[in-house]
Amino acid sequence: MPNEDHKNATLSVLHLEDSEQDHLLVKREFQKSGDLFEIRRVESLEAFENALKQAHFDVILADYRLPGFTALDAWQVMKDSSIRLPFILLSGAIGETAAVQAIQAGISDYLPKEDLSKLRHVTQRAIEMHHVVLAREKADAELALSQKQLASFAEQLQNTIEQERAAIAREIHDDIGGSLAAIRFDLAWMERHAPDADTRIHVQAATDMLQHAVEASQRIMMNLRPAILDQGLVAAIHWLGDSFSRRTGIATQIRANMHSEQLPKAIQLTAYRTAQEALTNAGKYAQCTQVKIDLAGDKHFLTLEIADNGQGISDSAKPREGGFGLNGLQERAKTVGGWLDISSQKGRGTAITLSIPIDDTQPLQQEG
């Protein structure tokens, strides 16, 4: 355990003190504890700085007022040297103002000289708190790095997914689309040359089924690769809303107020996919009768809100009913510097809001 290691190790103390007598009193208090310790006394800022460079210390004890400087000057010297150690004021009455300034500066603790019996306890506590702070900072740094790596991975994954979707859409268009077109020509020939009415009826039925297959393949291609974005985000959102309304029978109201549609392709695609996923969830789970889509943007900010009047998302339903998709949208929003808010009340519907700051320095990408 860390505490046992500290207890068995030799405690190294740097004592900034101009009184030999006070130094001996401090030394005696450490001797009373029975712990192993080494203590070095310095009196000037120069000696203090040199000592920090020459050896490692576990803790610093400092009188507040010394000839020509104060402990705050010593604290600043330590900071300028990028050295972080527990720093305890061990002084006479210094006044409330000075004590507050010291704590605000970051000094670990303050112990009046008349309370030297508490020295070992205060020292140990300062050292332990110092290690806690360092451990927390290390954990925070590691967490921040992990989050950065995760965000980078999520962005790469989204890019890969979009590339795969585009490839599949091209295959559907080139292979399946070409085959369906050839079948259409054959059926048209058969209908013109059919010898009897029954054959023409079957050919017409096959033609109707073929038309359904063509429309399904077009819808799949559009979902995989939203070529409609080439016409702008407003047109793409209108297409999504209209398609959703025709497919589900749910009334869909669309309002768009865009200052400019000159947006980076990544932002357009993020907004499109957010609307697509939100509408999919509304159609599957919301049990709603109305959906409102509100798209607004100027040269600084883009906001997209998809709201329904359905049953809302319960806490127990989130993981099962589309929670993973919404989490994916939150990660996607982060890749373009945005964020996703989900507001839901039981029986009063759900609103999904995407907010993205617009960076004027981002290149305006066009999809080829």
Q: Taking 70 as the threshold, does the pLDDT of residue 175 lie above it?
A: yes
Let me know if residue 118 belongs to a domain. Answer: yes
Q: Please indicate, yes or no, whether residues 240 and 367 belong to a single structural domain of this protein.
A: yes
Residue 168 lies in a domain: no
Q: Is residue 153 part of a domain?
A: no
The residue among 269, 220, 264, 239 whose CA lies nearest residue 357 is: 264
Q: Which of 285, 279, 271 is nearest to 318 (CA)?
A: 285
Q: From CA 57, how far away is CA 78, in angstroms rounded?
A: 12
* CATH code where residue 65 lies: 3.40.50.2300
Give CA angle at 20 (19, 24), nearest 5°: 120
3-class secondary structure, 18: coil
Expressed as residue numbers, the domain containing 254 is: 228-368
Domain boundary (121, 139, 157) is at 139
Residue 302 has pLDDT above 90, yes or no: yes
Q: How far apart are CA 15 and CA 19, in angstroms?
A: 11
Identify the domain boundary among 88, 117, 139: 139
Examine the pLDDT at 80 and tell me if it is beyond 70.
Answer: yes
One domain, residues 135 and 232: no
CATH code for the domain of 311: 3.30.565.10
Please report the pLDDT score of residue 324 as a whole number: 47
Is 186 contained in some domain?
Answer: no
Chain mean pLDDT for the chain: 85
Q: Is the pLDDT of residue 147 over 90?
A: no
DSSP for 148-198, please give it: HHHHHHHHHHHHHHHHHHHHHHHHIIIIIHHHHHHHHHHHHHHHHH-SSHH
Q: How far apart are CA 234 and CA 240, in angstroms?
A: 10
| Within-domain flag for 343 | yes
**Residue 203 pLDDT grade (very low, low, confident, very high; cuts 50, 70, 90):** confident
Cross-strand partners of 340? 354
Phi-psi region of 93 (alpha: psi -120 to 50; beta: other; left: phi over 0): beta
- Asked whether residue 350 is assigned to any structural domain, the reply reads yes
Q: How is residue 187 written in tokens?
A: 């059926």
Give the pairing type, strands 301-308 and 290-297.
antiparallel
Looking at the structure, tell me whether residues 25 and 135 fall in a common domain.
yes
Q: How far apart are the first and last CA of the chain?
A: 60
Task: With residue 343 as reference, give the H or E element that holds it.
Answer: strand 339-345
- pLDDT tens sequence across 223-239: 777 778 888 899 999 99
- 242 and 121 within one domain: no
- What are the angstrom distances between the C-alpha of 211 and each of 66, 204, 214? 93, 10, 5
Same domain, 367 and 235: yes
Q: Tell me the β-bridge partners of 357.
A: 301
Query: Is 206 within a domain?
Result: no
Domain check: are 233 and 124 in the same one?
no
Whether 234 and 134 map to the same domain: the answer is: no
Do residues 249 and 359 both lie within one domain?
A: yes
Sheet with 251-258: strands ordered across: 251-258, 290-297, 301-308, 349-357, 339-345
Largest Cα–Cα distance in the chain?
124
Q: Do both 232 and 368 map to the same domain?
A: yes
Distance CA 177, CA 190 (A): 20
In tens, the pLDDT along 16-70 reads 999 999 999 999 999 988 889 999 999 999 999 999 999 999 999 999 989 999 9
In a domain, 285, yes or no: yes
Q: How many domains does the chain have?
A: 2
- pLDDT for res 283: 92
What mean pLDDT is predicted for residues 193-208?
87
Q: Given 109, 139, 169, which residue is the final one in a domain?
A: 139
